[in-house]
Amino acid sequence: MLLGFTNLLPAVLFVFLAVDKMKKPVVSMHWFRKGLRLHDNPALLAAVQQENVTKMYPVFIIDGDSYQLKHCTALRANFMVECLQDLDQNLRKLGSRLYVGSGDPTEVLPKLWKEWGVTHLTFEEDETGEPYAKQRDEQVLEQAKECGIEIKGFASETIHPLKKYAENAGGSVPNTMGSFQALFGKMGNVPKPMGPPKKFPPADGVDSKTMLPPKRPTDLPWPRNIPREEVRPLWGAKDCENLTPIVRGGEALALKQLKKTVEDRPNYVATFEKPKTSCVATKQMSTTGLSPYMSWGCISPRQLWYAITESSNRSSVSSKSKPPVSLHGQALWRDFNHLMAHDANKEVPGSWGGIEGNKYCRPVPWDDDPEMFAAWKECRTGYPWIDACMKQLQQEGWIHHLGRHAVACFLTRGDLWQSWEKGAVHFESHLLDADYALNGFNWLWLSCSGFFYQYFRCYSPIAFQKKNDPTGAYIRKYIPELRALPAKYIYEPWTAPANVQSNAGVIIGRDYPKPIVDHATESKENMNKMKTAYDVYKERQKQNGNKRSAGTEPAKSPAKKKQKSQR
DNA sequence: TTGGGAGTTGTTCAA
DNA sequence: GTTGAACAACTCCCA
């Protein structure tokens, strides 16, 4: 009996192993949303390294309703198209490919799971709580659970996961950069970035002609149930031709740019101070130009962190720049901003990015003047420096950070007294590097609605650039009608005598607008309005027991209605 | 509890 | 060209 059992053992073991293997043939799907890269992508790596994986499908669903696409310009959509093409090419080099679907992920994905027999799903988590992504993910994950699919999400959009920052902060999330830096110091070493997967499990249809990445922005779907003209500016056929982005999309170009601007320039990196970089460069960017890649996740934040560290270590300069102005500081700002978005949305879901319910936003009684807003976004404020920045945004999808400061200040507390929410939506649609967390943070900051409160420090649309670019080369590039004006008048063309205007071929008021407001008058008046708004807020806070209250109903300011300049 | 110091990136003017 | 003070006075942090 015993002998008989011993003889049977190998056979039993074989059957057991075979059944076990048969029981768990893994078909994994990696769902790309952002994080459009192969390197340092823990979710992708997990999909590839899954035990018993027989097939693996890398998928991207083009979703017209997503934060990235809903309001976007053709220029911005084009960047995404380039990212997807690059991702597909890189996957093909490793024996896989990208499957691109189109439509509502909650409808498209379940069909694909069924068709392909998917058993495991991986993705990069959206920790900021961006409203559309949140509801989409909740629904998709619920559907996946119902289908018996094993789900794994990974937080890799920031240097450390946002939940970890919040945990380590012990209930009180830092809301100043200084305190965030202190928290970052307590987080331990930054984990080393992982390399790309070396090999991919097979996927069906590598050579098939279905589900290929789009070739041009016009191939992209429109948002569902929303009239086109309401959501996407500049989407005529003409707008989609001859695009002039300041950078092109894709992980390959991202890593090339990282090498060119960070890895190969140790002294530049070691001495980098953001406020000292030029915002009027007309030939080569004074900053790294990596932000569009960061917003789509073409470069991992940890890859960036170590590239900066290693490059700086190779520099021989004795005095190196430090956060918050250094390049490491820029990476920290990014995490800090994401943490703030995460925290605001934790308290009131979806409140970040707007005034209503946003715990970090002070209510300010902004005006709502469509004409003022239109002049700002259509580059016709009559202030050449402001209009030139807005023109660069329109043409290239990018402005230097200080240029963004100038135009954001001008629209809100500086001159036009329009709500920052409108400006934020406009930036979201035009910027190649639009990022939910960063965009919200910077608009709060510049409008003095949150994080920055020194409203008496106000950018002048004239003086600020005069000192950096006394010849006005930047203005001449983006506002060609002013090209021939003497430097003396380039920042204030309305002050040029009639014969000077005539000689330069531009008549102010006919060929280029007169200033929409008088900066000296408006900025002073607006400072008083800010003071009133702050006083009202303080009073309310007292009544609420000094608790940080969400910005709901703006206090009515007694200030008189803005009058347009008659000059 | 309170007061001093710091806060990524303001402007203007005088010396 | 550079530097520093005045402008009028914000919030948050920390001792």
The greatest distance separating any two alpha carbons of chain A, rounded to the nearest whole angstrom, comes to 117
Through-space separation of residue A483 CA and nucleotide C10 C1' in angstroms = 40
Does at least one atom of strand C sit less than 7 Å from the CB of A538? Answer: yes
Q: Nearest nucleotide by C1' from A175 CA?
A: C12
Is the minimum distance from the CB of A178 to strand C below 7 Å? yes
**Tens-level pLDDT at each residue, chain A (567 residues):** 344 444 554 554 454 445 454 557 899 999 999 999 999 999 999 999 999 999 999 999 999 999 999 889 999 999 999 999 999 999 999 999 999 999 999 999 999 999 999 999 999 999 999 999 999 999 999 999 999 999 999 999 999 999 999 999 987 899 999 999 999 999 999 999 999 999 999 887 777 889 999 998 888 888 887 777 677 888 877 888 888 888 999 999 999 999 999 999 999 999 999 998 888 888 888 899 999 999 999 999 999 999 999 999 999 998 899 999 999 999 999 999 999 999 999 999 999 999 999 999 999 999 999 999 999 999 999 999 999 999 999 999 999 999 999 999 999 999 999 999 999 999 999 999 999 999 999 999 999 999 999 999 999 999 988 888 989 999 999 999 999 999 999 999 999 999 999 999 999 999 999 999 999 999 999 999 999 999 999 988 888 776 655 555 444 443 333 333 332
Which nucleotide does the CA of A275 lie closest to, via C1'? Answer: B9
Cβ of A17 less than 7 A from strand C: no
Q: Supply the pLDDT for residue A522.
A: 95
pLDDT at A43: 98
Nucleotide with minimal C1' distance from the CA of A323 is B8
Q: What's the pLDDT at A406?
A: 96
Nearest protein residue by Cα to C1' of nucleotide B10? A457
Q: Where are the beta strands (DSSP E) in A50-125?
A: 53-62, 99-102, 120-124
Q: Smallest Cα–C1' distance to nucleotide B8: which residue has it?
A: A325
Residue with token string 């509801």: A135
Judge contact between A517 and A322, C-beta under 8 A. no
Hey, is A154 helix, strand or coil?
strand
What integer pLDDT is reported at residue A87 of this predicted model? 98
Count of residues in chain A? 567
**CA of A521 vs C1' of B15, distance in Å?**
29
Residue written as token pair 């097979």: A202
Residue A242, phi-psi category: left (phi > 0), alpha (psi -120 to 50), beta (remainder): left
Give φ, ψ of A57 to 5 degrees: -115, 110
Residue A168 structure tokens: 């380590």
Sign of the C-alpha dihedral, residues A364, A369, A372, A376?
positive
Q: Which nucleotide is nearest to A538 (CA to C1')?
A: C11
Angstrom distance, A524 CA to C6 C1'? 17
- Per-residue confidence (pLDDT) for residue A548, from 0 to 100: 59
Cβ of residue A7 lies below 7 Å from strand B: no
Interatomic CA–C1' length for residue A221 and nucleotide C7, angstroms: 53
Residue A547 is predicted with a pLDDT of 60
Q: What is the DSSP letter of A350?
A: T
In the 533-562 segment of chain A, residues within 7 Å (Cβ) of strand B are none
Instruction: List the structure tokens of A550.
Output: 């969400």
What does the block give as tokens for A218?
């016009």
Q: Using CA atoms, how far apart are residues A44 and A92, in angstroms rounded to an integer?
A: 15
DSSP 8-state class, residue A240: T
State whether the beta carbon of A374 lies below 7 angstroms from any atom of strand B: no
* CA→C1' distance for A379 and C2 (Å): 35
Measure the N-to-C terminal CA separation of chain A; round to a whole number of Å: 110
What residues are paired with A26 via a beta bridge?
Answer: A53
Residue nearest to nucleotide C12 (CA to C1'): A176
A471 CB-to-strand C distance under 7 Å? no
Interatomic separation, CA of residue A354 and C1' of nucleotide B13, rounded (Å): 40
Give the pLDDT of residue A230: 75
What is the rounded distance in angstroms from the CA atom of residue A449 to the CA atom of residue A533? 10
